[in-house]
């Protein structure tokens, strides 16, 4: 597992964690925002009317209504990225990472508008009457780039498992174990059966499930977050100050947090932003292409609402909950994960500024990092380290405290071998106090409100509903990609593999799953961004044609809508 994780981290260094990818993602959104004259602002109100079904007709072709498509796409995006992902972004990049999530969402509203419009415009109707659409269809039909369409479709299948499936159940399992002590294999097995019963029914059964679950889970989660925020009102303004103060400089060390550089803030904020709202990834375009609409632009406008709800509302609430509660800087009792743990040479303490500077350089992977990993032997007695050993244990980017070693539930006495900062015996379990991240951090924050410890149940149930609905939606994205590549006869084998990997991911280290997700996203996003940029003229003409038709069919509404395109007609 350590070898796999190291390989994924290395690969991610050239992809999602590189300098070029965040710039490409944000740059595409900024380009279309300017090119289409801020559609996320001008068309927002019109989009809310479309999603209510005001302009729908029974004669429109499609599998789902506007609202069902929005709910399905939202269920695919509102998942661990909103709960665990925000906690991960703040843990790695500090509070300022939330600002870059906002920036990604604002410009991502336009990116999603473009990709969903084009996907609906170039969708296919299968022999069985079902709709199949997505970026692969405009890559092949309009750009005549079959090879790129195949690359995207293959990446979608990979992503459906690597981002839409495995991280979700992994965080559900770890959160349920942390809160209710339910063993991961029980969670994985039970939910795998439920998943199978739902996805076998295809998009119509999925849409019926999501349109009921999404509003319910959103209300539940928002109520729990507000309860924590209002309990810590005095920390709201300081939270915003620390977010904006570190946007271009990084976050200084505070509490157990060892600090972050601008590079970490920017990269992790943008990276978590796309994982949260998926703007530019092309996934939501697959769901929206199934909507009943005669005008692709109308469905594209509905998709504008997604990053707003997903990131600018739900992720902001999660972030403020974590920051206002102070959970992001506090060390709490937890079980250490090997991927987050490192044993280093030397004794370092929290109240020494020079020690914190050195450790900050280490966790931020600076070139002048002077910290050396420890290789040698540790002497233990009754589960604790014998005093006088020249080492420090780091866990989750913090100095671990009150560390205890156990094996099979019993305290360890004897000698343990360490090689390059890791214990050779993988059966040894370490527990102690350190920072936490992902779903565990959000759970900790939810405990610090009016509901007390009961608050973590709200976060855990919210994560369960959010993440499970994401898994369901992504199964549809994957089977549409499989349909494009090999036809409908391969959909069932794909679903079986999807369910098996869902169960297995409940048992794997969380950090490895997140690192796999980082890599998978890139292989789907880059081909899609390149394609929509090449189709920028097609998109602009589609918007113009939409308003021409809208003015003819809805003259009364057109008089009330102040849109530049209407004035130009």
Separation of alpha carbons 517 and 189, rounded Å? 22
| Phi then psi dihedrals of residue 120, to 5 deg | -70, -35
Q: Is 266 left (phi over 0), alpha (psi -120 to 50) or beta?
A: alpha
pLDDT given at position 59 = 62
pLDDT given at position 350 = 92
C-beta of residue 502 within 8 angstroms of C-beta of residue 192: yes
- Averaged pLDDT of the chain: 87
Confidence of residue 1 (pLDDT cuts 50, 70, 90): low
111 token code pair: 């990116």
Confidence of residue 9 (pLDDT cuts 50, 70, 90): confident
Return the bridge partners of 411, or none.
406
Q: Is the torsion defined by CA of 493, 495, 496, 497 positive or negative?
A: positive
User: Do 336 and 321 lie in a common domain?
Assistant: no
User: Do 313 and 351 lie in a common domain?
Assistant: no
Return the bridge partners of 394, or none.
342, 399
Separation of alpha carbons 401 and 149, rounded Å? 51
End-to-end CA separation in angstroms for the chain:
61
Q: Is residue 414 part of a domain?
A: yes
| Domain C-terminal end among 413, 434, 455 | 434
Q: Is residue 386 part of a domain?
A: yes
Separation of alpha carbons 385 and 415, rounded Å? 10
C-beta of residue 393 within 8 angstroms of C-beta of residue 403: yes
User: Do 430 and 493 lie in a common domain?
Assistant: no
Q: Which residue has the higher pLDDT, 266 or 358?
A: 358
User: Do 313 and 278 lie in a common domain?
Assistant: yes
C-beta of residue 481 within 8 angstroms of C-beta of residue 465: no
Its domain, for residue 285, covers 2-330+445-568
C-beta of residue 250 within 8 angstroms of C-beta of residue 264: yes
* Cα separations in angstroms, 411 against 51, 386, 421: 58, 13, 21
The proportion of the chain whose per-residue pLDDT surpasses 90, expressed as a percent, equals 45
DSSP H helices, 415-488, are 438-446, 455-486
Inter-axis angle of helices 97-121 and 316-325, nearest 10: 170
CB atoms within 10 A of CB 377: 11
| Domain C-terminal end among 434, 458, 481 | 434
Q: How far is CA 340 from the centre of its chain?
A: 19
Q: Is residue 133 part of a domain?
A: yes
Q: Which residue has the higher pLDDT, 407 or 509?
A: 407
Rounded (10°) CA dihedral 444, 450, 454, 458: -70
Q: Is the torsion defined by CA of 39, 44, 50, 55 positive or negative?
A: negative
The proportion of the chain whose per-residue pLDDT surpasses 70, expressed as a percent, equals 92
Over range 493-509, report the average pLDDT: 89
In sequence order, the 6+-apart residues with CB closer than 8 A to the CB of 353 are: none
* pLDDT tens-place string over residues 10-61: 887 777 667 788 889 889 999 999 999 999 999 999 999 888 877 777 666 6
User: Do 412 and 452 lie in a common domain?
Assistant: no
pLDDT given at position 62 = 64
Q: Give the per-residue SS3 of 190-231.
A: HHHHHHHHHHCCHHHHHHHHHHHHHHHHHHHHHHHHHHHHHH
User: Do 236 and 278 lie in a common domain?
Assistant: yes
In sequence order, the 6+-apart residues with CB closer than 8 A to the CB of 388 are: none
User: Do 479 and 354 lie in a common domain?
Assistant: no
C-beta of residue 343 within 8 angstroms of C-beta of residue 393: yes
Q: Do the bridges between strand 124-125 and strand 131-132 make them parallel or antiparallel, or are there none, so unpaired?
A: antiparallel
User: Do 83 and 225 lie in a common domain?
Assistant: yes
pLDDT given at position 462 = 79
Return the bridge partners of 501, or none.
none
C-beta of residue 325 within 8 angstroms of C-beta of residue 445: yes
* pLDDT tens-place string over residues 317-336: 999 999 999 999 999 999 99
| Domain C-terminal end among 434, 464, 480 | 434
**164-173, 411-420, 482-491: least confident range:** 164-173
Any idea what the Cα angle at residue 136 is, between residues 533 and 166, rounded to 5°? 105
pLDDT given at position 144 = 95
* pLDDT tens-place string over residues 356-401: 999 999 998 888 899 999 999 999 999 999 999 999 999 999 999 9
Count structural domains, the chain.
2
Q: Is residue 439 part of a domain?
A: no
Instruction: CATH number of the domain at 93, please.
Output: 1.20.1740
Confidence of residue 189 (pLDDT cuts 50, 70, 90): very high
Q: Is residue 440 part of a domain?
A: no
* pLDDT tens-place string over residues 507-562: 876 567 667 767 778 888 999 999 999 999 999 999 999 999 998 888 888 877 87
pLDDT given at position 569 = 59
User: Do 243 and 385 lie in a common domain?
Assistant: no
Q: Is residue 373 part of a domain?
A: yes
Separation of alpha carbons 33 and 304, rounded Å? 12
User: Do 453 and 317 lie in a common domain?
Assistant: yes
* pLDDT tens-place string over residues 439-457: 789 889 999 988 888 888 8
DSSP H helices, 314-449, are 316-325, 353-363, 438-446
C-beta of residue 98 within 8 angstroms of C-beta of residue 290: no
User: Do 486 and 561 lie in a common domain?
Assistant: yes
Q: Is 38 left (phi over 0), alpha (psi -120 to 50) or beta?
A: left
* pLDDT tens-place string over residues 87-127: 888 988 899 999 998 998 899 999 999 999 999 999 987 77
User: Do 37 and 186 lie in a common domain?
Assistant: yes
* pLDDT tens-place string over residues 461-484: 877 887 888 888 888 889 899 999
Class of residue 323 by CB neighbours under 10 A (exposed 0-12, middle 13-18, buried 19+)? buried
């Amino acid at each position: 597992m350590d070898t796999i994780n190291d390989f994924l981290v290395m690969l991610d260094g050239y992809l999602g964690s590189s300098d070029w990818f965040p710039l490409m993602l944000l740059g595409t959104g900024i380009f279309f925002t300017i090119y289409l004259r801020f559609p996320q602002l001008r068309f927002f109100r019109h989009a809310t009317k479309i999603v209510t079904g005001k302009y729908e007709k029974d004669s429109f072709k499609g599998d789902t209504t506007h609202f069902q498509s929005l709910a399905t796409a939202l269920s695919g995006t509102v998942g661990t990225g909103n709960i665990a992902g925000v906690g991960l972004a703040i843990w790695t990049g500090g509070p300022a990472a939330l600002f870059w999530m906002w920036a990604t969402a604002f410009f991502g509203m336009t990116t999603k508008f473009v990709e969903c419009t084009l996907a609906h415009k170039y969708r296919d109707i299968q022999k069985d009457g079902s709709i199949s659409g997505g970026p692969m269809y405009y890559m092949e039909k309009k750009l005549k780039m079959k090879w790129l369409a195949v690359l995207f479709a293959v990446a979608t299948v990979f992503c459906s498992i690597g981002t839409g499936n495995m991280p979700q159940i992994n965080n559900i399992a770890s959160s349920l174990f942390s809160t209710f002590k339910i063993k991961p294999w029980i969670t994985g097995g039970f939910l795998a059966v439920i998943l199978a019963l739902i996805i076998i029914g295809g998009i119509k059964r999925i849409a019926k499930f999501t349109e009921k679950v999404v509003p319910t889970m959103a209300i539940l989660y928002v109520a729990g977050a507000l309860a924590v925020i209002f309990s810590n009102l005095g920390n709201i303004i300081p939270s915003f100050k620390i977010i904006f103060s570190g946007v271009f400089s990084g976050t200084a060390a505070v509490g157990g947090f060892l600090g972050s550089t601008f590079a970490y803030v920017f990269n992790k904020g943008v990276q978590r932003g796309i994982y949260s709202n998926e703007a530019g990834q092309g996934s939501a375009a697959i769901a929206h292409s199934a909507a009943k609409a005669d005008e692709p632009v109308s469905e594209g406008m509905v998709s504008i609402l997604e990053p707003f709800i997903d990131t600018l509302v739900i992720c902001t609430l999660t972030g403020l909950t974590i920051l206002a509660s102070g959970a992001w800087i506090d060390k709490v009792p937890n079980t250490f994960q090997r991927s987050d743990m490192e044993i280093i040479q030397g004794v370092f303490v929290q109240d020494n500024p020079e020690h914190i500077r050195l450790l900050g350089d280490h966790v931020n992977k600076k070139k002048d990092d002077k910290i050396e990993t420890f290789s040698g032997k540790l002497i233990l007695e009754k589960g604790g380290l014998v005093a006088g050993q020249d080492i420090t244990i780091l866990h989750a980017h913090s100095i671990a405290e009150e560390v205890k070693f156990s094996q099979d539930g019993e305290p360890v006495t004897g000698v343990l071998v360490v090689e390059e900062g890791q214990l050779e015996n993988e059966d040894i379990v370490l527990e102690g106090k350190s920072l936490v991240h992902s779903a565990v951090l959000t759970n900790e924050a939810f405990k610090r409100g009016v509901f007390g410890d009961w608050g973590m149940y709200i976060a855990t149930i919210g994560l369960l509903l959010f993440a499970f609905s994401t898994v369901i939606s992504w199964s549809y994205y994957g089977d549409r990609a499989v349909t494009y590549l090999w036809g409908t006869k391969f959909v069932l084998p794909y679903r079986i593999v999807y369910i098996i990997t869902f169960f297995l991911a409940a048992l794997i280290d969380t950090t490895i799953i997140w690192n796999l997700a980082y890599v998978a996203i890139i292989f789907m996003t880059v081909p899609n961004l390149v394609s929509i940029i090449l189709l920028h003229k097609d998109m602009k003409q589609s918007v113009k044609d939409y308003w021409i038709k809208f003015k003819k069919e809805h003259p009364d509404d057109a008089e009330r809508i102040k849109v530049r395109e209407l004035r130009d007609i």
